[in-house]
Amino acid sequence: MGKAKANAGPLARRPDNSAFKQQRLPAWSPMLTAQTVLPFFYGMAIVCVLLGAWLLVTVQNTHELKVDYTHAGSCDKCFEKRKDRANANQSCNCTVVFNIENMFKGDVFFYYGLINFHQNLRQYMDSRDDGQMIGRNKNLRNPSSYCEPFIKDKNGLPIAPCGAVANSMFNDSFTLVYHSAAGSRVVPLFRKGITWYTDKNVKFRNPQVENKTLTLAQVFEGTGQPLYWQKPVYDLDPWDRNNNGFINEDLIVWMREAAFPNFKKLYGVLNRAIEPFTDGLPAGNYSVLISYNFPVEYFQGRKEVVLSTVSWFGGQNNFLPVAYLVTGCLILLLAVILTAVWWKFGKNGRNMEE
Amino acid sequence: MVKRDSSLQITRFHCSRVRWRRALHHSSRTLGIAYGDLMRVCGCSATETHFTKLPMNSYCAELIPEISSLSWVTTTVPLVMVLLITAVKDATDDYNEKWMNVRVGDIIKLENNHFVTADILLLSSSEPYGLCYIETAELDGETNLKVRQALTVTSDLGADITKLADFNGNIICEPPNNKLDKFTGTLYWRDNKYPLDNEKMLLRGCVLRNTEWCFGMVVFAGLQTKLMQNCGRTKFKRTSIDKLMNTLVLWIFGFLVCMGVILAIGNTIWEQKVGRSFSVYLLWDEPIRNNNVVFSGFLTFWSYIIILNTMVPISLYVSVEVIRLGHSYFINWDRKMYYIQKDTPAEARTTTLNEELGQVEFIFSDKTGTLTQNIMVFNKCSINGKSYGTRDSRCAFAFGSCVLELSHFSFNPLSDRKFKFHDSSLLEAIKMEEPSVQDFFRLLALCHTVIDDKVDRDLVYQAQSPDEGALVTAARNFGFVFRSRTPETVTLYEMGTAVNYQLLAILDFNNVRKRMSVIVRNPAGHIKLYCKGADTIIFDRLDPSNHVLMNTTSEHLYEFAGEGLRTLALAYKDLDENVLEEWMKRLLYASTVIENREEGLADLYEEIETGLMLLGATAVEDKLQEGVPETIACLTLANIKIWVLTGDKLETAMNIGYSCNMLRDDMNEVFIISGHSVLEVQQQLRLGLMAHALEPELEQVLLETACLCKTVICCRVTPMQKAQVVELVKTNKMAVTLAIGDGANDVSMIKTAHIGVGISGQEGMQAVLASDYSFAQFRYLQRLLLVHGRWSYFRMCNFLFYFFYKNFAFTLVHFWFGFFCGFSAQTVYDQWFITLFNIVYTSLPVLAMGLFDQDVNEANSHRYPSLYRPGQLNVLFNKRQFFLCTLQGVGTSFLLFFIPYGAFCLVARDDGSHISDQQAFAVIISTSLVIVVSVQIGLDTYYWTAVNHVFVWGSLAVYFAILFAMHSDGLFSIFPSHFPFIGTARNCLTQKSVWLVIMLTTVATSVHLLMDCTRFFSFCCEMLPHSSTKAPVSSWTFLWGIALALPLRSNRSQMCSIRLRYGFFAGHGRTLTILSCRKSRTERVVWLVALSCWRVMSG
């Protein structure tokens, strides 16, 4: 500290007269006083309230319908059946009926929801191998140890996709049917385009092989399917050959782990090219045919089907407008109190001494 | 006693070799220091050793997969960064590690202008008699050359290397100590023993001058050298903030364990109730599968300790050090504390005490050289009962109209032209050759330790003390010119003729003896002892025949002292040849004794210095330093109590007190407490006077009384007593004390006080070496405390508040998330975010605030000294403030977690795909967090320099840059398992709803901050009479204000005319109430003259 500078002379050790060293850097020091802060408070309160009101109106125009089918209607028998693990390979179909009173205008999204399913447990979330899912052959044959114990099947073959997340993939399937006066007809759903672009095109890739002529089944040869799956990964979508393997969209959606135990995941999007669904879902009676496979009774879980429309800020969300309104009102209240105090005590800048 | 055997090795004849080896050594040491410093960083003292273990423990724990909730990178990266920064700081900081390779017993050759590398016993030199000259400026600041002389036996060794190599003496000497002016030892060589003292030692830090070469043997090396012994101590001073910080870190640690336990219990219950049934999807590890949920809870506990350990910030200590270092540099760089006359900048010699400068309540000041200039002018004298130098009363009050009669020294070609004396009668007396006057000046010319130095044929004196210089110069002008000295002779020019005196002995000065004597033989063969010293000491040793003269002289002395002059009494004694011979023998013996040598010598000196004949007395004027009264007035307004501790006489001290503005005419009750015994002092007590001494039983009363007084001046105090007074206040008042002084007699007080300030003045560097801060003028103290100290304290408090807040807000989100993720220790954030949050995203803005922030500019700091009050009351950061910042951190983390939770739990994107996945949630919360803490730092910053702007906006920019980089396709395709967040930023941050949530979170978390730290209501306009002054000192949080104002106001009746002023305060509901006493009820001054009583105590 305090080293003498190299240059000699009578004032050799005189400190530099720079603004930095003399702590005189030009600076903006905001003077927050009642006159500047109170308007800011009021402004903020008004912005919050207005925004909240606008959001509230927007939300009122969206629709959402939830149908819990865990043991609703004919699904009760399936529920009972799934209690016994021995019946795992027997299929079970059931139907749930519901009614839409007001038309769902615009794009309609079809979700499945799970209640009390913990996708956010640390050991569960870690139990996957992103290297395998991006199609690395090394990881395909030798999955990461994070996948334990879902890493090898009983034949000793490496599991693809490995890990607890993939293993527990939701495997109910749905068919939405519209019952109108003109008869019943299946509501057409897009089953693709339900993932993030980056997931579909970057994060999940099928294993790359040099020989392009190989089928997907051949590519995955030498790997086993996850323990709880009924079909191998290359055969997930029997109707669309390009929607198989790691890039199967249902798999991708499932692999994006939910943050909370109650969640919904996108299943399909209404195809509005076909009458009478060009404007959305018309009011009327609907039923959902469910291939009931996913057991939830072990963890006291519930399953539901959700139909929803969205607004410019996403799906139906009452929290946000209400939160904005509440915050706005609180700020307003605060601002009024502060104004009163300021008016009484501080307006003229007098001190409190009489 | 340490035995040194020099026969072990005799090597390394040239310094350059040593130097070269040092370079290598130094670089290899840095790593060692770095690691050692980490320990220090993590645990600054013994009490904190636990914390060292914390990061280490978690580090180990991360290697166990069952509980490894974070990847090893996450904690290693900050750890490495901390290590690196510490290493860099140390490498720059530490140039003490010189000369590590010189070992005790080595014989070293030094050449002209070389630095002495260790404490060395001089063996031989190129000069005759084994003399060599050194400059000790680095050591004690004295620029005069000093002579060192080797023993005659060793100086015969010369430069003969074979002889030197055969040198095999043993030295037995004192253990390493920090006394620069003392050394005792004995050399045993060839069956003889030779006494060694400081005159034969070359201490590390000296520079060899005017000597071609010399050889010496290393006695102390490395850390044992006196220089290092003087340096090492400062590290042990810690500030109260430091101690508080350590306590808080302990608390946080406790808090961490509590939360770990809560979450572990939660996990146990959850596993019991829910997790067990969920095990279908997650085949548990063996122990848990066996239904051992308690074990699962146990593992969870450790996992959470790892996740939440960011609450105990390892970077805190490093940041604090960096900020302090910055503040120290600002002190060093301050031009307004640079003294142009002597080219001396202020220097922060310790980097760890800066914020304490903002909390000082007591200043203990030395007088001479601290309040005064310590430039002595021979002003008056009393010779043989006649007083000279008194200005004519005709002239005294008629400046300008009366030409002062200056003595003309033209008769004397060797006179110093700058010298002036206002009384020609003395000159006449000299010319009349009055024997007593001649003897008077002869004594002044002989009895001193001044060294002559001929510059361009001009005679220049190099004096160690300014008093001596002034006296010798006076003698010179009155015709008794001290011309030159050798170890055995002194040459004078007495009225133009050269006279050679044989110097038989020098009985040197020290603080206990308070006198010095020389024994000389004049050309006529008469032996005389000349003695000069403090009047009381001399008067005790006078021959009874001097009684009348003594009374007259002491009257004169009283007069002189009343004018604030420093006085010395002079006396002589004729000695008999035989007596002296016998005495000299005993002296020689006593000076070779090792144990109690000092005492033995002192007794001998005492013996011969009796029956003295009084010659007269001198009075030397010491002018007040520039700006002292103003500084004292200003510091008093800042509610700092200034106690002057001086060794001077009561009258001198009182005079200085008046001229310093410490005593004023309107102070109606000036108590002078004087007593020579415990009893007397107690009697004065009973009489209602405020009289006490440092007796153990009276200590408390003394303290209480003294603290009631406006001004306290203690005179006639010894250095030890100075330290005792400081210690008394320090231990009993729980207040921060500052001691300021310039001389060796202030060292003990400087070391005792919380903060020691050294004035680098006329009396060498000993005080400076012992001090924590040093500068050249007393008036800089005002700037050091009111500007630098206040800012340091303010910045440090703001920094700590924000730092703790930030870490709580950051970490506690995991706690809330625990309730949703089955207490499984899943992190909310991306691991990379956890790694970088503290060291990249948020470190620089808070550092900039800690370095540059100014709540009040320097002009206003000076103008309104009462702004210093909050530091003394310690209101800006204390346990209550910590509690508040914890609360605020908890609140922020709550909002940060639950607003996004509420908004996104069941919500989809505008394209229908979901956004409630964990990764999106992580990005939303971390982005909100970074924005919220940036807004907070923005609200906390009072002084937005370009650096603040760059750091705040830069940190935000860097956050987004890194976020998108980490979530980019490229990185993922290279390291898929390390960057699994691919695309999340893109998919989230393009959503309007995400920004709505971030905005809401920011607004909600900032409202209470804004409310707190809006310097809101202008309650204190009286304090700032001109509303135009641009000082943000004008607002206040109203709720706290009202709550605080009530009790204060009820006290008003007791405090007669105390005005209440409401300061605003600065941030986070911190409140400040500035009390300023216009006129204290107790305008009392206590004079403590405690002579014998204090001795009883110190004895």
pLDDT tens, residue by residue, B296-321: 888 889 889 888 888 877 778 888 98
Find the angle CA(B278)-CA(B281)-CA(B285) to the nearest 5 degrees.
85
Pair B142, B463: CB distance under 8 Å: no
What does the pLDDT look like over B109-138, one tens digit per residue?
888 877 787 888 888 888 777 888 887 766
pLDDT in tens, B436-448: 888 898 998 888 8
Q: Is B186 annotated as a binding residue?
A: no
User: CA–CA separation, B340 vs A10, rounded Å?
Assistant: 9
pLDDT tens digits, B481-532 = 888 888 788 888 888 888 899 988 888 877 677 788 999 998 888 899 999 9
- pLDDT at residue B87 above 90? no
What the block records as the tokens of B167 is: 């040198």
Beta strands across the sheet bearing B170-173: B2-5, B170-173, B184-189, B192-197
Q: Residues A244, A247, A248, A251: what is their CA dihedral angle, to the nearest 10 degrees?
A: 130
Please indicate if the annotation marks B710 as binding a ligand: no
Under an 8 A CB cutoff, do B914 and A22 touch?
A: no
Residue B987's SS3 state is: helix
The lowest-confidence range among B383-397, B939-953, B1060-1074 is B1060-1074
Residue B667 — pLDDT band, cuts 50, 70, 90?
low
- Residue A272 near residue A109 (C-beta atoms within 8 A): no
Sorted by sequence, the CB contacts under 8 Å of residue A301 that are 6+ apart come out as A70, A114, A115, A116, A117
Specify the range with the lowest mean pLDDT, choosing from A89-98, B160-169, B545-554, B823-832.
Answer: B160-169
Split at pLDDT 50, 70, 90, the class of B697 is low
Write the single-letter amino acid at A168.
S
pLDDT of amino acid A289: 93
Find the CB nearest B945 among A21, A25, A197: A25
Specify the DSSP class assigned to residue B1078: S
B462 exposed, middle or buried (CB, 10 Å; 0-12, 13-18, 19+)? middle
What residues of chain A lie within 8 A of the CB of B349, using their CB? 1-2
Find the catalytic residue in B37, B140, B242, B366. Answer: B366
Nearest-by-CA chain B residue for A258: B917
Q: What is the pLDDT of residues B558-575, one digit of tens each?
A: 888 777 777 889 999 998
> Rounded mean pLDDT of A110-116?
91
* The residue type at B251: W
Section B989-1018 average pLDDT:
74
The distance of Cα B16 from the centroid of its chain, to the nearest Å, equals 34
Confidence label for B226 from pLDDT (cuts 50, 70 and 90): confident
Report the range out of B231-235, B339-343, B795-799 with the highest average pLDDT: B795-799
Interface-testing mutation among A144, A228, A351, with chain B (most B C-beta atoms within 10 A): A351
Looking at residue B28, its pLDDT comes to 28
- Which residues make Cβ contacts (< 8 Å) with residue B249, sequence separation at least 6? B48, B51, B312, B316
Interface residue A350 vs chain B (CB under 8 A): yes
pLDDT value at residue B16: 26
Determine contact: B32 vs chain A, CB below 8 A. no
Question: What does the block give as tokens for B1075?
Answer: 């009390």
Q: Does A35 touch chain B (CB under 8 A)?
A: no
Chain A hits for B1004, Cβ within 8 Å = 327
Average pLDDT in the B184-196 region? Answer: 83
Say how far apart CA B418 and CA B990 lie, in whole Å. 83
Q: Give the per-residue pLDDT at B71.
A: 65
The residue among A326 and B369 whose pLDDT is bigger is A326
B366 is catalytic: yes
Can you tell me the mean pLDDT for B193-216? 83
The residue of chain B nearest to residue A341, with distances taken between CA atoms, is B1038
What is the C-alpha to C-alpha distance for residues A48 and A54, in angstroms, rounded to an integer? 10
Question: Given CB atoms, is B1046 within the 8 Å cutoff of chain A?
Answer: no
Integer Cα distance of B783 and B479 in angstroms: 46
Query: A149: distance to nearest CA of chain B, Å?
Result: 7
List C-alpha distances in Å: A8 to A14, B135, B145, B341: 11, 19, 21, 15
Instruction: Tell me what the pLDDT averaged over chain A comes to.
Output: 85
pLDDT value of position B261: 95
DSSP letter, residue B1028? T
A302: which 2 tokens? 């519930």
| Percentage of chain B modeled with pLDDT above 70 | 72
Q: How confident is the model at residue B764 (pLDDT cuts 50, 70, 90)?
A: low
Interface of B with A in 1058-1087 (CB under 8 A): 1059-1062
pLDDT at B1042: 32
**Contacts with B216 (C-beta within 8 Å, 6 or more apart), sequence order:** B107, B108, B110, B116, B120, B121, B122, B123, B202
Average model confidence (pLDDT) across chain B: 74
CA B322, chain centre distance (Å) = 17
Q: How far apart are CA A163 and CA A146, in angstroms?
A: 7
pLDDT tens digit sequence for A271-281 = 999 888 898 89
> Across the interface, do B943 and A29 touch by the CB < 8 Å criterion?
yes
Q: Is A336 on the interface with B (CB under 8 A)?
A: no
Alpha carbon distance B56, B54 (integer Å): 5
Query: Of B78 and B38, which is predicted with more confidence?
Result: B78
The model's confidence at residue B399, banded by pLDDT at 50, 70 and 90, is very low
From A291's Cα to the closest Cα of chain B, the distance in A is: 20
Q: Residue window 272-301, chain B: list those with CB within 8 Å of chain A.
A: 274-275, 277-278, 280-284
Which one is predicted more confidently, B140 or B79?
B79
Angle of CA points B795, B798, B800, to nearest 5°: 105
Residues of A (104-123) whose Cβ lies below 8 Å from B: 107, 109, 111, 113, 116, 118-123
Residue B930 pLDDT: 95
Q: Chain B contact for A210, CB < 8 A?
A: no
ipTM: 0.94
Does the structure show a pLDDT above 50 at B696?
Answer: yes
Query: In the prediction, which pLDDT does B519 show?
Result: 92
pTM for the predicted model, two decimal places: 0.76
State whether residue B367 sits within 8 Å of chain A by CB.
no
Test A314 with B1045 for CB contact under 8 angstroms. no
* Cβ contact B1027–A349 (<8 Å): yes
User: What is the rounded distance in angstroms from the CA atom of residue B848 to the CA atom of residue B279?
Assistant: 50
Question: Are B1019 and A127 within 8 A, CB to CB?
Answer: no
pLDDT in tens, B448-479: 888 777 666 677 787 767 778 888 888 888 88
Q: Do B973 and A30 touch (CB under 8 A)?
A: no
- The dihedral sign for the CA sequence A104, A108, A114, A120: negative
Q: Which residue has the higher pLDDT, B783 or A311?
A: B783
Percent of chain A predicted with pLDDT > 90: 27
Question: Out of A149, A266, A298, whose CB is closest to B283?
Answer: A149
Nearest CA-CA distance, residue B993 and chain A, Å: 5
Average pLDDT over residues B815-842: 90
Which of B68, B334, B853, B913 to mutate against chain A (most A CBs within 10 Å)? B913
| pLDDT classification of A305: cutoffs 50, 70, 90 | very high
pLDDT, mean of residues B959-988 = 89
Burial of A213 (0-12, 13-18, 19+ CB in 10 A): exposed
B947 interfacial to chain A (CB closer than 8 Å): yes
Known binding residue B742? Answer is yes
- Is-contact A310 B908, C-beta < 8 A? yes
3-class SS at A299?
A: helix
Tell me the residues of chain B between 826 and 855 that have a Cβ less than 8 Å away from chain A.
Answer: 826-827, 852, 854
Position with higher pLDDT, B703 vs B794: B794
Residue B64 sits at the chain A interface (C-beta within 8 Å): no
Residue B346, pLDDT above cutoff 50: yes
pLDDT over threshold 70, residue B36: no
For residues A327-333, give the mean pLDDT.
92
- Which of B12-21, B279-288, B864-873 has the least mean pLDDT? B12-21
